[in-house]
Amino acid sequence: MFKKVFPLSAILSLGFLGLFLVLPMLSVYALSLENATPLLVGVVVGGYALTQAAFQVPFGKLSDKIGRKPTLLIGLSIFFVGSLISAFATDIYTLMLGRFLQGAGAIGSVITAMISDLVAEEVRAKAMAIMGGSIALSFALAMVAGPLIGGNYGVDTLFFITAGLAVLSVFILFTKVPTPPRIKHTYHEKSKTLDILKDSNLLQMIVINAMQKGLMTFAFVLIPIFLTSESFGWEKSELYKAYIPAMVLGLLAMGPAAVFGEKKNKPREIFLLSIVLFFVSFLIMAFSSASWVFVVGVACFFIAFNMMEPLVQSMISKFAKVHQKGAALGLSNSIAYFMTFIGGISAGILLHYAQRETIGVVLAVVTFLWFLWSLKLSNPTRYGHLYMPHAKVDLAKLANLESEHITEWYINETENIIVVKYAKDAISEEALREKISF
């Protein structure tokens, strides 16, 4: 499984690495360009996410028609062009165009679909966790490398590096990624967006994913601007002093959080703790009078973000039924990208009209309401998967048992088998096999 997932995760994480590299310094850099305003700076920071949200579904549909690999090549090519335009930009509008094009290379949904093609159902959640973990690691690396490289060689250099990462991703795509088999599944029901939103746990995960990404953009507009303002007087080249300790602590927290969330099946507790840390981080950053106290707030933010990131995609794949997984992940990611854009816009507006203390209080209130909303979240049920030849299964018996310990079942027509997903704590595999056999 790892050999199939790792190359795809590498492509996705390299793309995110390129996007994340510029985040620690992008708002300060953009503010120095011709025609820049706080609102336009917010658009630049979060702009890529708007086109990401818009193109996720079209790219997913295109991959169904022309194949996954050709679609990934198209997306990476657009990302490459957007990175070069951003690198050569001398005014805010050209940089905005480049960021929009970077986002238009929306390959996330295609990679998720490709992983679903290549990986068996029972280990798909682990595959999603690997993908989420690789993104979190890219985030951590970018927070260290971005300020160091950008501070010494310029933010335009970061965009050139991003273009190079796109080229590397194309190389990985055609040398390391296996061609997915053509597998046709027949389900006894169709996925509906309304059904996804009616599932309280899936809705909770969609909200968590959206809030996490929106707050991330918000923070990356504000943190570098506040640290380089008159209040603290940092130079752009010094920003790494805030990001490096924050990311080290974030990485140290990520491992135990992933283990506790996945292996101990306690993601609810991890998510709630992360939200509390977000709340604390905004209050610290709002009212700190010393730069080291502000950096403590930054560290709390990064710890919270890194604790959440590896679990989000995995939990969606666990809560969603098999025929909903693609739709649920696509819907969640589209909303998250849209919220990323909203976060950047909102930060730009607040930065124009409000002081640091007011902005921090507003974010703390929003986070507190998010915490209250998330109290309804529950931990996922532990499931097992039973595989039986189609000819040996009585479909009438199976259909009658669906509401009794069976969450779903489907037919894999390619292999001519029935796959049954059942609650392991409620019924044994032997008992289930006996109940549905002829």
Identify each DSSP E strand in 77-195 by its residue range.
Answer: 185-186
**Residue that terminates a domain, selected from 374, 406, 424:** 374
Q: Do 277 and 367 share a domain, yes or no?
A: yes
Same domain, 363 and 389: no
- H or E stretch including 386? strand 383-389
398 falls in which pLDDT band (50, 70, 90)? confident
Q: Tell whether the model's pLDDT for residue 28 goes beyond 60.
A: yes
The answer to whether residues 169 and 298 belong to one domain is: yes
Predicted TM-score (pTM) of the model is 0.77
Least confident of 118-122, 201-205, 275-279, 309-313: 118-122
- 402 has a pLDDT exceeding 70: no
Of 374, 396, 417, which residue constitutes the final position of a domain? 374
For 407-425, what is each residue's pLDDT tens digit? 777 777 767 888 887 877 7
Asked if the model's pLDDT at residue 46 lies above 60, the reply is: yes
Give percent of the chain above pLDDT 90: 40
> At 405, is the pLDDT very low, low, confident or very high (cuts 50, 70, 90)?
confident
Co-location of 352 and 393 in the same domain: no
Pairs from 163-166 (Cβ < 8 Å, separation ≥ 24): 163/18, 163/80, 163/83, 163/84, 163/87, 165/14, 165/15, 165/17, 165/18, 166/14, 166/15, 166/18, 166/76, 166/77, 166/79, 166/80, 166/83, 166/105
Does residue 387 share a domain with residue 370?
no
Is residue 114 domain-shared with residue 194, that is, in the same domain? yes
How many Cα atoms are found within 13 Å in the side-chain-facing hemisphere of 286? 17
Separation between Cα atoms, residue 58 and residue 102, nearest integer Å: 16
Same-domain pairing of 70 and 191: yes
Q: What's the first-to-final CA gap in the chain, in angstroms? A: 33
Q: pLDDT tens digit string along 82-131? A: 999 999 999 999 999 999 999 998 787 788 778 767 776 556 656 766 77
- Cα–Cα distances (Å) from 377 to 199, 208, 215, 403, 408, in that order, read 11, 10, 20, 22, 21
Residues 337 and 392 in one domain: no
Mean pLDDT, rounded, of the chain? 85
Q: How sure is the predictor about 157, in pLDDT bands with cuts at 50, 70 and 90?
A: very high
Same structural domain, 210 and 315: yes
| pLDDT of residue 166 exceeding 80 | yes
Domain count, the chain: 2
Same domain assignment for residues 420 and 319: no
DSSP element (H, E) containing 125: helix 124-153
- What pLDDT, on a 0 to 100 scale, did the predictor assign at position 319? 78
For residue 165, what is the domain's CATH number?
Answer: 1.20.1250.20
Pick 331 or 145 by higher pLDDT. Answer: 145
Over residues 330-344, mean pLDDT: 86
What is 62-108 written as a DSSP string? HHHHH-HHHHHHHHHHHHHHHHHHHHH--BHHHHHHHHHHHHHS--H
Question: Are residues 333 and 303 part of one domain?
Answer: yes
Indicate whether 3 pLDDT > 80.
no
In terms of domains, do 203 and 230 share one?
yes
pLDDT at 404 over 70: no
Distances in Å between the alpha carbon of 422 and those of 125, 395, 403, 425?
A: 15, 15, 10, 9
Cα separation, 361 vs 356, in Å, equals 9
Question: How many C-beta atoms surround the C-beta of residue 376 within 10 A?
Answer: 11
54: its two tokens: 């818009």
Domain span at residue 112 reads 2-374
Amino acid residing at 260: F
Share of the chain above pLDDT 70, in %: 91
Q: Which of 46-50, 93-97, 139-143, 206-210 has the lowest mean pLDDT?
A: 139-143
pLDDT band at 188 (very low <50, low <70, confident <90, very high): very low
| Confidence at 322, pLDDT banded by 50, 70, 90 | low
Domain C-terminal end among 326, 344, 374: 374
Q: Is the pLDDT of residue 383 over 70?
A: yes
pLDDT at 269: 94
Tell me which residue of 146, 203, 145 sits closest to 22, measured CA to CA. 146
> What pLDDT is attached to residue 186?
46
